[in-house]
Amino acid sequence: MAIPDSFLEELNARTDIVDVVSGYVSLTKKGNRYWGLCPFHSEKTPSFSVSPDRQMCYCFGCHKGGGAIHFIMEVENVSFPDAVNILAQRAGLQVPETRGNPDNRKRRERLYQLNKDAARWYHQNLLESAHRSALNYFTNRGLSRRTITNFGLGYALDQWDGLIREMTQRGYEKAELLDAGLAIKTDKGRIYDRFRNRVMFPIIDLRGNVIGFGGRVLDDSTPKYLNSPDTIIFNKSKNLFALNLARKSKRGMLILTEGYMDTIALHQAGFDCAIASLGTSLTEEHARMIAQRTGQVVISYDSDSAGVNAAQRAIGLLNKTGVSVKVLKVTGAKDPDEFIKKYGPDAFQKLIERSESHIEFRLLQVKGKYDLKQDDQRVACIQEMAETIAALPGPAEREVYGGRMAKDLGISPDTMLHEIEQCRRRNYRKEQRQRERRALQPVQQHQPEDRRLRYDNMRSGKAEEGVIRLLLGDASLFAQTGELSPEDFTVPLYGRVFGQLRQRWNDQRSTDLNAMGQELTGEEMNLLVSILQHPVSQTNREQAMADYIKTIQTEALKGKRAGTVDDSALMAFRKQKHREETT
């Protein structure tokens, strides 16, 4: 059963989308909108907008958008009912009970509570004298009792079903333990604990929920580290260890480490901005999460080949988001944890202050690949360095790093800058050819900006888009649509939405786009929000609606429903192109 419209209307009325989005994105007001870096794709300049008057958000880069509910669905990766529940708790409202949704909020809440109880049980085990070896692992690594408590560290017993027995006694079903990733089921149907004889690291999301665990063995078992699998409440690619704590830091940056212990050790030493990925390489989602919360990142990975490769990958992902990236060079120790134990927090702070820019780091890695005593390898090194420097946006950066590398390689600065400019010209010509290929497809220029929509009948498609845009802005225009049928539409989405909107109008229900959240997928919501970004004239709307309807009905009679291109639209495009080229 759907959530009642009346409740959704009250929830939307009590929810300010600017406040909601501000919890995830740093916003700046410009004109009558707020702008920030999009949380859904990597970008360096803000293209994500929030409109307080419409209570809608929209990204002009990736074309995702919607109201507060759909924003939460996307950013938290949850279903519509779960997003409603999150916002309802925020607004102090009680969501009406609904039926028929197996993946509803109660199931998620149950798993949150199960993980919380499991974390408490693991922590209790750690503090019991019978399991001294587990506690010794942490204390021998220099962690204080306070740090152990702050991070909720724990211990999974060396038993096949210790957690299962404990949680079932508390009223949980074995199926719930499987859903939470806390238990494993064999092919023969046997169920046993996923984590056994491991020290445990609870993973906590930004709302304080325990969503998963990481576990490290205390013996020679494999794998050395084991993490919870992805579940309905946990996705390794969309969460970061200790971000719930680091987001409160006043240091103005984030330190990205390779593992849980490095992160915890840095927090204990006063570097409360440390985070780590969850047993995986950094992902685009991780990079966007980081960019939403800081403009500066210091990568503090191990100095071995695996750490260097991971840092290179992280630099590439973080660079796309526009954050300033530096790389920490740890000397005299294998990782930050060991360095702090040897030299103390003050020395580590000096390391941060002397950290290399990501450009220096990448150029030094290039240099290390070649034997510069051999001429052919030296030439190859110069060319690869030139490619790296050519990608830099500013001429000053290119000249500074080009001159520095020229000196290191024993060539003149002019020679190095010439190589860099050659690379830039090659890259420019490649981009120009791509632009020219796109320009040779004139019909595509008439398609919607959002490439997920295609108009087989251009004339009708544009008119259908206009009808939907007008109706979403002014419900009184439904009075003109009596003879228009959803079957007249050539764009299936527009036809279905038109039918839903008119039925809502006939039933005297809200025709606001936010009210239709339950009837649309996230993709459909994104598409509809994209067409609302075009301005609508406040005068002659009735005449515009009449013209759109006439066009749709005329094209329907012609039978141009698929596989056709409107000749008049193409001719108009060619004439306009000719005028532009001759002026």
In this structure, the answer to whether residues 17 and 135 fall within a common structural domain is no
Instruction: Please give the C-alpha separations between residue 507 and each of 7, 11, 232, 497, in angstroms, as whole numbers.
Output: 17, 21, 36, 15
Same domain? For 398 and 462 the reply is no
On the question of pLDDT at 337 being above 60, the answer is yes
165 and 192 in a common domain: yes
Tally of domains in the chain: 5
The chain-wide mean pLDDT, for the chain, equals: 87
Q: Are 419 and 412 in contact (CB under 8 A)?
A: no
Is 144 among the domain residues?
A: yes
Which residue among 362, 389, 404 closes a domain? Answer: 362
> What is the per-residue pLDDT for 228?
96
Question: Is residue 355 pLDDT above 50, yes or no?
Answer: yes
Q: Which residue, 538, 518, 536, is CA-closest to 467? A: 536
368 is a domain residue:
no
Of 50, 65, 91, the position where a domain reaches its end is: 91
Residue 387 has pLDDT above 60, yes or no: yes
Query: Which helix (H) or strand (E) segment is 200 a member of?
Result: strand 198-204
For residue 241, the 8-state DSSP code is B
- Do 332 and 416 fall within a single domain? no
End-to-end CA distance of the chain: 61
Residues 230, 276 share a domain: no
Q: In whole angstroms, give the CA distance from residue 102 to residue 110.
A: 13
- Note whether residue 160 is domain-resident: yes
Q: Are 515 and 475 in contact (CB under 8 A)?
A: no
Residue 152 is assigned to a structural domain of this protein: yes
Mean pLDDT across 82-92: 89
Contacts of 356-360 spanning 24+ positions with Cβ under 8 A: 356/326, 356/327, 356/329, 357/325, 357/326, 357/327, 358/299, 358/315, 358/318, 358/319, 358/325, 358/326, 358/327, 359/388, 359/389, 359/392, 359/397, 359/401, 360/327, 360/401
Provide the residue type at 95 as one letter. Answer: V
- Per-residue confidence band for 573, with pLDDT thresholds at 50, 70 and 90: very low
Q: How far is CA 470 from the centre of its chain?
A: 32
Tell me the mean pLDDT in the region 22-50. Answer: 91
Same-domain check for residues 295 and 353: yes
Question: Element (H or E) spanning 12, and its range?
Answer: helix 5-14
Structure confidence at residue 433 (pLDDT): 80
Q: Are residues 550 and 534 in the same domain?
A: yes
Q: What is the pLDDT of residues 45-67, one digit of tens each?
A: 899 999 998 899 999 998 899 99
Portion of the chain with pLDDT greater than 90, in percent: 51
pLDDT of residue 332: 86
The predicted pLDDT at position 565 comes to 45
Same domain for 395 and 287, yes or no, is no
Report pLDDT digits (tens) over 533-571.
Answer: 876 666 678 888 999 999 999 988 887 444 444 455 445
One-letter identity of residue 3: I
Per-residue pLDDT reduced to its tens digit, 400-430? 999 999 998 999 999 999 999 999 999 888 8
pTM exceeds 0.85: no
Q: To which residue do tokens 């690949």 refer?
A: 369
266-322 pLDDT, tens per residue?
Answer: 999 999 999 999 978 898 889 888 887 888 999 999 877 888 889 989 998 898 888
Instruction: For residue 518, give the CATH number of its domain.
Output: 1.10.860
Q: Which residue has the higher pLDDT, 129 or 569?
A: 129
Residue with token string 């990501």: 358
Q: What is the pLDDT of residue 249?
A: 93
Q: Note whether 385 and 363 are within 8 A (CB).
A: yes
Picking from 362, 396, 417, the residue at the C-terminal end of a domain is 362
Tell me the residue range of the domain where 38 lies: 5-91
